[in-house]
């Protein structure tokens, strides 16, 4: 089995689970043992300064920097997506997931980022997970589309417009999608 990660999962209209309705998920890891991804287009009421304060980390970035909702699994677990051309300062704690998109889940990385946050940054809590074969089954049922990872989509598109924008970039008009099972 080849890995689907990194890629975007784009929820189809028939995906009625309220956790994933009209979501764009960045798949970070996928293999025969399961799949790990981060929902990119859901928000929380939490800001970076308030989250960092609970962790005794001084936040030196924008005071209103939002924290996104990464998914329903372990909502107390934090993740960082950022665009740094040189991630050598972060060592092995950072995973490259696409051109200009780096991923980390380490408090050490958050501490370093909090000192001088990069311009392109996403902070998220929670994640989406699938057991062995579960995502493949959902793909076969037509619940998701696959799209290439794009730095612009991750960092530059307003999360409230991301679902439509990813579909349009694929050449699909969102209003034309019909809730059906199977391959589209």
Q: In this structure, is residue 184 part of a structural domain?
A: no
The reply to whether 120 falls in a domain is yes
> What pLDDT, in 10s, does the model give residues 85-131?
555 567 778 898 988 899 999 999 999 999 999 999 999 999 999 99
pTM score, whole prediction: 0.92
Q: Which residues pair with 125 in a beta bridge?
A: 69, 78
CB contact at 8 A, 27 and 7:
yes
73, 127 contact by CB (below 8 A): yes
pLDDT band at 184 (very low <50, low <70, confident <90, very high): very low
Q: Which CATH number is 107's domain given?
A: 3.40.1740.10
Q: Which pLDDT score, from 0 to 100, does residue 87 have?
A: 52
CA distance linking residue 38 with residue 162, whole number of Å: 14
Cα separation values, 18 from 13, 40, 106, 163, Å: 11, 15, 28, 15
Nearby residues of 152 by Cβ (< 8 Å), 6 or more positions away: none
> Does residue 63 belong to any structural domain of this protein?
yes
Distance CA 85, CA 87 (A): 6
Nearest residue to 161 via CA among 21, 15, 6, 24 = 24
* Number of domains forming the structure of the chain: 1
User: What residues make up the domain containing 143?
Assistant: 7-176
- Mean pLDDT of the 40-65 span: 96
Is residue 155 assigned to a domain? yes
d(CA 33, CA 42): 26
In a domain, 181, yes or no: no
**Residue that the structure tokens 């579960």 belong to:** 134
Which among 39, 27, 22, 35 has a CA at the least distance from the CA of 75?
39
CB 95 within 8 A of CB 26: no
């Amino acid at each position: 089995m080849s890995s689907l990660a990194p890629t975007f999962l784009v929820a189809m209209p028939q995906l009625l689970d309220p956790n994933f309705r009209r979501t764009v998920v960045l798949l970070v890891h996928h293999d025969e043992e399961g799949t790990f991804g981060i929902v990119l287009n859901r928000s929380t009421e939490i800001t970076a300064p308030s989250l960092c304060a609970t962790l005794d980390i001084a936040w030196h970035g924008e005071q209103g920097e939002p924290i996104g909702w990464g998914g329903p699994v372990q909502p107390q677990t934090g993740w960082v997506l950022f665009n740094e051309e040189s991630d050598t300062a972060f060592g092995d704690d950072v995973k490259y997931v696409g051109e200009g998109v780096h991923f980390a889940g380490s408090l050490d990385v958050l501490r370093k980022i909090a000192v001088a946050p990069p311009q392109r940054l996403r902070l998220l809590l929670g994640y989406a997970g699938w057991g062995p074969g579960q995502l493949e089954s959902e793909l076969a049922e037509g619940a998701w589309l696959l799209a290439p990872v794009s730095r612009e989509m991750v960092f530059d598109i307003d999360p409230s417009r991301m679902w439509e924008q990813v579909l349009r970039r694929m050449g699909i008009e969102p209003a034309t999608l019909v809730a059906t099972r199977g391959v589209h």
